[in-house]
Structure formats: structure tokens, C-alpha cells
Chain A
Amino acid sequence: MKKKSFLDIVSENTFIHILLSIILGFLIGAIFLAVMGLSVGNAYGRLINSVTSLKGFSYVVVYSVPYIVAGLSVAFSFKTGVFNIGAEGQFVVGAMGAAVTSILLPDLPKPVLIPLCFAAAIVMGALWGIIVAILKTKRGINEVLSMIMFNWIAFYLSNFIAGIPGIKNEGSAEATKSISANASMLLPKDFIKSAGLAPTANWGILVAILITALIWIVIEKTTLGYELKAVGSNKFAAEYGGINVNRSILTALGISGGMAGLAGALYLMGMGNRISVFSSQEGFGFAGIVVALIGCSNPFGVFVAGLFYGALMYGGSKLNLEGAPTQLINVIVGTVVFFIAISVIFRNLKYLKRKTGKGKEAMKA
């Protein structure tokens, strides 16, 4: 067999495509910076410095947790052939479910309250997903349409609940009360101080690791995962093979929604502490879509992509110090996603070689 050339390897390896997309994203970002007359070195230097110190990295981990879990939610839906554009709403109702649970039952001991908050978030998120699935399977209503509607319903519902007496903050802030200390996932204060970590350092990342492994097992190693994937790749073949397609869609959106809801709880109990009245959608669910795409919908890929996204978000918030707009991050990430979309151009690199190869042969002759 012919030895694979460098270009062959590049054109066949998805991981390399993503790496190339990321490099191109930063290149385009650099061009924008240069056009704006800003120093590329300073801006990117600040970006790298801010995420590589111990404190910076702990911030990145904290930021990443909700992105990873929301990304897993969307990735799971991609695997099963549904596009969960509703992760945004599921995230919001999940966070609100956890907040209300913790505010109404503040005195429960930590080992009871935290799982209870998780459960409330998962149930709310799953419910939000399942309603859409029922509308789709029973009434044939386009799921993208109903998900967009339910994103907004979740948004205003959350704002409404945040203003209910008993839930609302007693101070002047337009937000809920802070969650009970027993529902907080923060590491002990002394430890944070002595280790020099971010003040919001928490153990949410352990949950994210657990969920990543769990989703991988469900997708790759269980009958349920096999059925869901079968429906995702060919609904008609799956039905012919005896799989109940409607039930699969219900299960898939339920699990996906539950995870988006959990992501909301992890955000709240890790770094959010309370839910403010939003003026516009927070975008965690939409970030989940991006993370799932960068991670190629592979659970471990999503985990790494979530860390990458978290690093960009945290590092990006420091860009202002160099006079560079935070929006640069959106341009970089947008470019990365765009190149992932057109990764066919990387796959076609091998034809480039064939052409030049022919050229060489011609020269020999």
C-alpha cells in the first residue's frame, strides 16, 4: 500500500480540520485587530496570559462547566437527528427550577438539597424538551418553530418568577434571592484563598466530567443509544427495523432537555448564585450549539470544546484592557464555526496534491 502523504492525513483527519479552523479563526481575528490599528501581540498575549495562570485557569474551568453540559445536550440531540435549538429555554427553566427549590427549602442539609436542585433542574429542562417532542409527534408541529417559541416563553417565565414575592430579592436588585448556602457548590473559602483560585471556584467540573462519561456510555454502549442513533441516521430504516420512532424522539428530547436544564443549575449553583431579570437572552443554549459543533458532537470532543469556549469567554472579557473589543471573540468563534461548516475544503486538500503530483510527473517526462 502506498504510504500516506502529509496532505492525505490532513485531508482525512477531522481533528486536524478543527485545529486548522481554530488557527484560521485566530488569523482572521488578527486581521481585524490589525485593521483596527491594535497590536495583535498585545491582545493575543493578554488572552493567553489571562487563561494560563492558576487563577485564570480556575476561572476558565468555572466558566466552562455550563458550556460543556449545554454542549453535551445539543450534541446528544444532533446524534439523535433532532436539532435542539431549544437548549436556551431549557437552560433557563432548569436554572429557575434549581433556584426556586433552593429558595423555598433553604434549610435542607447540603447532601439532600444539592441533588434535589439538580433533579428540579433536570425535570424542568426535560419537561421543556418533552412538550416540544409531543407537539411534534402528536400534532406534527415543526420542532424548530416550537423550540423558538418555548425559548421565549422560558425567558419571560423566568423574569416573571424572579419578581414573585418570596422569590424576589429583598433589596432593590431586579433578581431572585441568592440561593441558600446549602445549595452552593463553591469550594471552601479558606481553601480557595490559600490555593489562590478564582472566588467562584467550585466542583461543578466533576459533574461535567461525570456527565460527559455518562453520555458517551449511553450513546456508544447501550441499546437505547443505538436506537436513538438509528433514528437519527435514518428514521425510516429504524422504523422498519422495529424501533418506535416517536418514542425515540420523545426520549431524545427529554434527555437533551434534562441536560440543558442541569447546565442551568450548574451555572446557578456554581457561579451565578441568583437569577437576574434578563433584558435579552443569555445565550448559554446557543453557546451549547457552538460547543457541540466544535466538539463534533463527540462527548469527549465537546468536553474539550467547552473548555476552549470557556477560555475564550473568560480571556475575551480581559481584552478590553488592551483596547480590543470583547466582540473579537465572537468573530474568532464565528470564523472557527464557519470553517468547520466548510471543512470540505480541507478534505479537498488531497486533490491539490494530486494536481501538483501530476505536475511533477509531467516534469519528469
Chain B
Amino acid sequence: MTDFINSLGIMLYATLIYSTPLLFAGLGSCFSEVSGVVNIGIEGMMTAGAFTGTVVAYFTGMPWLGFLCGGLAGMLFGMLHAFATVRLGADQTIAGTAINMLGPGIVIMIAKVLFNSTDTVPLSPTQKIPKLFSGVFDTSTVFGRFMDNVFANYASTYLVFIAVIIVWFVFYKSRFGLRLRACGEHPQACETLGINVLRTRFICVCLSGFLAGLGGACVTMTISTQFRPISIVGQGFIAIAAVIFGKFRPHGALLGCLLFGFCSGLKVVLGGSSGVSMHLISMIPYVITVLVLVLFVGKSRVPAANGKPYIKSK
């Protein structure tokens, strides 16, 4: 029983830290997709955020400044995407593909200049995002250890859950949310009602870059301690998948991200101990996702104007 509670605690801890970056990026993806702009550049924006966050934290010693700069770096690429897709009406998939090449390409080149290596120098514990409530729980008891595992977690994890609530509120209870959802469904109708579709979409794509950048920074400032070219491999795409899974709603994305986070955690916990092939265990989340989609979730309705450039004169 004690072992079970311990494992459960570690499991939940792993789920939370692996879900956090996905969730930041997923919320970003929600903003962009729901306002009508396909953003497959999330991956590149996360890479930019991961690198910038680590580097700023390393040179200034201020993790929160690094975290913020990670977001801003993601936003820079978000602006590039917004400029191409919203301002110039470019094909959103092509522009996103470009971002996915430019993001890693540029930051790894900068890493080469700064560190003469493609990896950054590992952060010291004080340069990482701090953990909240560490040492609050009495780890000598089973229950205390469980609480310590689950709740003595990185501040970014707490932040992302607050962010989910805020984004949900913005989407469904604010004027801006109503507008951004309308822009993704019927931009022409919005325009006739005096909503500035282009500006709304521009803001949403920038926000999506900012959140993706924060997500990237979480990867290198909590789960690991340094940026490497393989820090972000596919998390951006998984975040997009989680959003489609969650039917383009922030609370749906929360579920999707927790599922993927749980499976990553499972991989870590089962890692050395069981005789089953690591590769098969790693496959589980993706198989489960497909099964869940087939059996329970079914159709995920894409916002009607998603992927279509809006050109004002038409």
C-alpha cells in the first residue's frame, strides 16, 4: 500500500511537470486556431522560447525574467507568422512550416556563437523556475510524502492551471473572446458588425506565440536544465493534437494535455523497472489517443473559417 501511494505520488508529479509545457503551448494553439489561423509553427515557437528562457536565466540569474523572455521570443515568431498569414494572407501551413525551420535554425546558430556548442550550459538550481511548497509537508509520513510529491511542484505548473482558468474566462465570458471565436467562424459577418478581424487575429496569433514560448521555456527550465537541439522534439505537434482532441476548447485542451503528460510520466516511472520494451510503452499515449478518438470523442469540429486567409475587400 505504501509503495502504491508512493508510486502514485511520483506518477502524479511526473504527469504535472510533463503536462505543463504542453498546456501552455496548447492554450496558445487554442487562441490561434479558434480565431481562424492554423498555427503549425507552435513547435518552432516553443524551441525559440526554450532557448531564450534558458539563456536569459543563465546570464541574469533570474528565472522569471528568463521565463518571460522565453514567451517574448515565442511571440516574436508569432508576430512573423501573424504578419505572413494575417497581414499578407499567406498560406498558413506553409508559413508555419517555415517557422518550424527558422525557429530552431536561428536559436541553434546563436547557441553556437554564445556557447561554441549547440547545447547551452546547464542551469544551476537557483536559476531554474522555483518549486512552491517544498519543505512544507512532513515527508516522514506516507501521506506527507504523497502531498510533497504532488504539491511541491514547480511554480510554472501552478501558473498554467491559473492560465487555463483565465483563458477559459477570456474565451467564454469576455467580449474579446466572443469576438475571437466569431472571427474563426464567420469573419465577413464580424466585419459587417464593425469587428476588426485582422487586428483580432493578429493579436491571437501573437498570443499563441507568447504562450508557446512560455511552454518551451518550461521544458528547459523545469524538466531539464539546459537547452539542446532535441529539447523540443514533437511537443509542439502534440500540443496541437491535444487541442484538436479537446475540440478547440481550453478546458478540452487541458484534458488532452494531461493525457499526454500522464503517458510521458508513465514512461518515466515504468522506465527501468518493467520488462516490457520501452518503445512499446512509449507508443501507448498515441495508441490511446487514437482509441479514445474512435470510441468516445469522435468528430472534432474545426472552426469554420480556420485556415482561410481573410481578405478585407472580398
Could you list which residues of chain A lie within 8 angstroms of chain B, going by C-beta atoms?
32, 36, 83, 85, 135, 139-142, 144-146, 148-153, 156-157, 159-160, 163, 279-281, 286, 289-290, 293, 325, 327-331, 333-335, 337-338, 340-342, 344-345
Q: By the criterion CB–CB under 8 Å, are B108 and A144 in contact?
A: no
**Residue of chain B at shortest CB distance from A28:** B102
Contacting residue for B101 out of A279, A281, A325, A333, CB 8 A: A333
Mask: chain B, 31-64; 1 = CB below 8 Å from A; 0 = not:
0000000001000000000000000000000000
Take A135-B293, A145-B293, A145-B300 as given contacts and tell me if A342 and B97 are in contact as well, using a CB distance cutoff of 8 Å.
Answer: no
The stretch of B4-12, B132-140, B237-245 that contacts the partner chain: B237-245
What are the 3 tightest A-B residue pairs by CB atom distance, in nearest-first order?
Answer: A330-B105, A334-B101, A140-B299
Contacting residue for B102 out of A36, A156, A279, A338, CB 8 A: A338
Take A152-B234, A334-B101, A345-B88 as given contacts and tell me if A141 and B294 are in contact as well, using a CB distance cutoff of 8 Å.
Answer: yes
B165 at the interface (CB under 8 A from A): no
Inter-chain pairs besides A163-B279, A334-B101, A337-B97, 7 sampled, C-beta below 8 Å: A160-B283, A286-B97, A290-B101, A331-B109, A337-B94, A340-B98, A341-B98
- Residue in B101, B234, B245, B286 with the greatest tally of chain A CB atoms within 10 Å: B101
B93 at the interface (CB under 8 A from A): yes
Chain B residues contacting A85 (CB-CB under 8 Å) are 40
Take A139-B294, A141-B299 as given contacts and tell me if A149 and B241 are in contact as well, using a CB distance cutoff of 8 Å.
Answer: yes
Could you list which residues of chain B lie within 8 angstroms of chain A, going by C-beta atoms?
40, 80, 84-85, 88-91, 93-95, 97-102, 104-106, 108-109, 112-113, 118, 230, 233-234, 237-238, 240-241, 244-245, 277, 279-280, 282-283, 285-287, 289-290, 293-294, 298-300, 302
Q: By the criterion CB–CB under 8 Å, are B109 and A334 in contact?
A: no
Chain B residues contacting A156 (CB-CB under 8 Å) are 279-280, 282-283, 286
Q: By the criterion CB–CB under 8 Å, are B240 and A144 in contact?
A: yes
Chain B residues contacting A328 (CB-CB under 8 Å) are 105, 109
A160 to B277 alpha-carbon distance, docked (Å): 7
Q: By the criterion CB–CB under 8 Å, are B290 and A149 in contact?
A: yes
A365 to B186 alpha-carbon distance, docked (Å): 47
B192 to A: closest C-beta gap in Å: 24
Q: By the criterion CB–CB under 8 Å, are A330 and B98 in contact?
A: no
Take A281-B234, A341-B91 as given contacts and tell me if A140 and B105 are in contact as well, using a CB distance cutoff of 8 Å.
Answer: no
Q: By the criterion CB–CB under 8 Å, are A325 and B109 in contact?
A: yes
